[in-house]
Amino acid sequence: MRDITFFYDPISPYAHLAFERLPEALMGHSVQVRYRPVLFAAMLKANGQLGPAEIPAKRDWTYRQVSWLAHHHGVTLAMPAAHPFNPLPLLRLGLATATDDAPGETNRYVTEQLLRHVWHGGQDAADPARLAALQARLQDHMAQRGKPWLAPESEAVKQRLRANTDEALALGVFGVPSMVLDGRVFWGQDALPMLRACLDGDTWFDAQWDAAARTPVGVQRR
């Protein structure tokens, strides 16, 4: 069995699209997926980047494209009432469900709940009443599994999020969603066919993956 780490932030519509389509991309392979929430804003800051929603024309394009991609692939997606929003409460709710043997992970059910909270229904992702209802569902989920629940605002949960984000950056992750397989980073929902090819043993990866990174830099902006 091979391991894939799926780094995500529920603020990203591409993370939602990739999550929904991932089972199809992995079909026929024995794979364990580890879902790890990260703070996308911290990754942007570390790399000196603006987010897509911070560039007006790119923001408009992003929302149009993800809506079309959802339509094209038959994935439910509705823009939330406002975007971007502060995803920290959602990220911490997710990691409050992480267990001691996998302290940085959310299982598929929890990951689905976080993403659908944002991308189903067109509602306010930051609404306190909706967040309280989500917390109740997640707490019930943990109780049914006989697993402990950590307070989302606890230092332990905050440290889990920092550790996940630091781990992603150390692996070369710069955006969400990113899937890491055998040390290779596959960025974005449109990388799913490429991830599938790698799992299938496509020999392109043997010669071309590292070669692409050796392309010389011709000029740098200052």
Tell me the DSSP string of 189-211.
GGGHHHHHHHHHT-THHHHHHHH
* Residue that has been written with the tokens 């899937």 in this structure: 179
Please compute the mean of the pLDDT values over residues 136-144 and round it to a whole number.
97
Tell me the DSSP string of 91-102.
HHHHHTT-BTTB
Candidates 72, 95, 74, 75; CA nearest to 10 is 95
The tens digit of pLDDT for each residue in 178-200 reads: 999 999 999 999 999 999 999 99
On the question of pLDDT at 113 being above 80, the answer is yes
On the question of pLDDT at 222 being above 80, the answer is no
pLDDT band at 209, cuts 50/70/90?
very high
Supply the pLDDT for residue 152.
96
Supply the pLDDT for residue 207.
87
Which of helix, strand or coil describes residue 5?
strand
pTM over 0.95: yes
On the question of pLDDT at 96 being above 80, the answer is yes
List of domains in the chain = 2-213 (3.40.30.10)
Task: HSE, CB side, 13 Å, CA atoms: give it for residue 12.
Answer: 26
Which amino acid is it at 201? G
